[in-house]
């Protein structure tokens, strides 16, 4: 029997994979993909909570799904802007490696 | 949703998610991310969130990943050459990530609600597009308009960033 805990742990595992990608990888595009993984891990736990909170009429709580809708929209806008920034960075420096872009490092 | 199907889709999702981080070739990472989102979408549908599952495939596997692949091929990124890697940083990062996962695991283990099964839904047809649309245009009208402005700003920002001379 699948319980809420199963979904929460799988969501936590997906978040951890994204988190490890952000920490360990040095290619800025892979870091960006890992950020998407983390956003989607949050979406998975929100949808699981939405299905868990069923009101007496047998209808799940759709507020969480509206929130997921907003997160997906913001993530799509974020990807567009982020990839444009990466293209501008590549034009200026010819690299996508974060260690080659350390002018602002203190 | 049987346990077997749940673990099948969860393992597809986590396996390809790990492949995103492990692959050295960015194109392979991007294609793994598509398959990871397919598994995630199946999990959404197992939670009776059909609308979210469909827009997950349409927006992520359709639009976002095409954008990623387009940029990777535009920049002509090859598989990274092996750089001298800082082993302390790698071990440290892996330990931090593992500690984070163990924290989530034990906190969820202590949650009493996490052990309960999902309550049954009403037998009548559940129209989730109808319900989400009703909420979007009644309770969440202002956030919905703000999201519209955000998408407009993102469009203008991308055009400004992509112009040839960036001053």
Q: How many residues in total does chain A contain? A: 106
Only one residue has tokens 């990807």, namely A79
Nearest chain A residue (CA) to B36: A37
> Residues in chain B with pLDDT < 50?
none
The pLDDT of residue B153 is 95
| pLDDT score, position B79 | 65
**Furthest CA-CA distance within chain B:** 61
Which residue in the set A2, A13, A18 is minimally distant from B6, CB to CB? A2
Judged by CB atoms closer than 8 Å, whether chains meet at A24 and B120 is answered as no
Between CA B91 and CA B22 the distance in angstroms is 15
Selection from B46, B139, B120, B50 nearest residue A56 by Cα: B120
* ipTM of the complex in this document: 0.91
DSSP single-letter state for residue A25? -
pLDDT at residue number B118: 84
The alpha-carbon gap from A104 to the nearest alpha carbon of chain B, in Å, equals: 18
Residues 32-61 of A with CB under 8 A from B: 32-34, 36-37, 40, 43-44, 47-48, 50-52, 54, 57-60
**Can you state the angle between helices B141-162 and A63-93, rounded to 10 degrees?**
10
Q: What region, left, alpha or beta, does residue B83 occupy, with left being phi > 0 and alpha being psi -120 to 50 degrees?
A: beta
Q: Give, for all 106 residues of chain A, the pLDDT tens digit.
A: 888 999 999 999 999 999 999 998 888 999 999 999 999 999 999 999 999 988 888 888 899 999 999 999 999 999 999 999 999 888 888 888 888 888 887 7
Rounded Cα–Cα distance for residues B45 and B23 (Å): 28
Tell me the pTM: 0.91
Q: Tell me how far apart the alpha carbons of residues A40 and A46 are, in angstroms, rounded to a whole number.
A: 10
The confidence score (pLDDT) of residue B62 equals: 87
């Amino acid at each position: 029997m699948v319980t809420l805990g199963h979904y929460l742990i799988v969501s936590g595992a997906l978040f951890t994979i994204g988190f490890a990608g952000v920490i360990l990888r040095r290619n800025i595009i892979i870091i960006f993909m890992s950020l998407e993984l983390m956003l989607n891990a949050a979406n998975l736990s929100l949808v699981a909570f939405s299905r868990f909170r069923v009101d007496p009429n047998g209808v799940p709580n759709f507020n969480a799904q509206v929130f997921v809708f907003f997160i997906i929209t913001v993530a799509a806008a974020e990807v567009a802007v982020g990839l444009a920034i990466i293209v501008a960075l590549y034009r200026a420096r010819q690299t996508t490696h974060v260690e080659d872009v350390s002018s602002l490092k203190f | 949703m049987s346990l077997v199907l749940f673990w099948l889709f969860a393992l597809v999702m986590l396996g390809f998610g790990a492949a995103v981080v492990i692959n050295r070739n960015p194109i392979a990472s991007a294609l793994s991310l598509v398959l990871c989102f397919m598994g995630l979408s199946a999990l959404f549908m197992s939670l009776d969130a059909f609308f979210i599952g469909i827009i997950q495939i349409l927006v992520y596997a359709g639009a976002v990943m095409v954008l990623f692949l387009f940029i990777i091929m535009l920049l002509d990124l090859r598989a990274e050459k092996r750089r001298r890697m800082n082993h302390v940083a790698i071990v440290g990062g892996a330990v931090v990530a593992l500690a984070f996962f163990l924290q989530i695991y034990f906190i969820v283990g202590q949650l009493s609600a996490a052990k309960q099964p999902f309550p049954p839904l009403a037998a009548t047809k559940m129209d989730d597009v109808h319900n989400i649309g009703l909420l979007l245009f009644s309770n969440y009208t202002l956030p919905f308009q703000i999201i519209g402005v955000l998408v407009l700003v993102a469009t203008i920002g991308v055009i400004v960033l992509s112009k040839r001379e960036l001053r």
